Structure 1
Amino acid sequence: MKLYFLLILFTQNNIFLTLTNFKGDVLFWNSLGRFKNKGLKKLTNSFIKNFIYVSLKKLNTNSRLKIHVRTKGFNKCKKLFLKTLFTLIPEVILSVTDNSLDSLNGCKLKKRRRL
């Protein structure tokens, strides 16, 4: 059985995938913006499904493969992305952790005023 870590970074308008082995060596990485054509939105339902399928189709061929998924960041499509990830490769995923930074007390630094 081979163990891999799938790191998913959600930014405001992009999603990055990085697949590493248990030693931390990067096997491949992908970005949602890499597949985008000019004039199209990146964060649509069909575009996200195609992105996951193209990026992770190599992983479906190996049945002795297990993945730990780590997510970080906030995005409006985070829930949709994880749901489609679970529907496409449910038997491969071992665990999911969320490393997003939340403010504990709701305090926010004031923005600097620019003139």
Structure 2
Amino acid sequence: MKLYFLLILFTQNNIFLTLTNFKGEVLIWKSLGTLKIKGLKKLTNSFIKSFILMNLNKLKFKADAKIHVRLKGYNKTKKLFTRLLVLFLQELLTSFVDTTSDPLNGCKSKKKRRL
């Protein structure tokens, strides 16, 4: 059984995929910008579907592969992307974790005043 980690970083205008093995060696590194489309047009349903199909088809053929998915960041298409990813890798998924750090509403302790 092969164990892989799929790390997905969502930025405001892009999505990055990094596939590593158990040792942490990077096997695949892709971004949504490789489709040669600029701006927010690349965050549409059709481009996200084609991006997932193009880049993760290699894993689909390995029957003994198990994948741990980690998400990080915010994006307006994050929900759609994760839904499509779960449908595509349904039988290969072992765990699914979102490690996005939530803001604390801007609350931070005041600076100490020095005299």
- TM-score normalized with structure 2 length: 0.88
User: Across the two proteins, how many residue pairs are aligned to each other?
Assistant: 108
RMSD across aligned C-alpha pairs, in angstroms? 1.6
- Structure 2 distance, partners of 1:25, 1:102, is 29
Which ranges in structure 1 are unaligned for 5 or more consecutive residues?
Answer: 110-115
- Structure 2 distance, partners of 1:9, 1:72, is 5
- 2:106 corresponds to which residue? 107
Post-superposition CA distance 1:20-56 (Å, at most 9, x none) = 0011000011000111335881100010000000000
Partner-residue secondary structure (3-state), 2:42: coil
Q: 1:40 to 1:97 in 2, by over 3 A?
A: closer
Task: Give the counterpart letter for 1:68 in structure 2.
Answer: H
- Structure 1 distance, partners of 2:59, 2:90, is 12
Partner-residue secondary structure (3-state), 1:47: helix
Structural mapping, 1:1-115, within 5 Å: 1-37=1-37, 41-104=41-104, 106-107=105-106
- Structure 1 distance, partners of 2:39, 2:29, is 24
Partner-residue secondary structure (3-state), 1:12: coil
% identical equivalent positions: 62
- Structure 2 distance, partners of 1:72, 1:38, is 22
Partner-residue secondary structure (3-state), 2:9: strand
Which ranges in structure 2 are unaligned for 5 or more consecutive residues?
Answer: 109-115
Cα deviation, residue 77, structure 1? 0.4
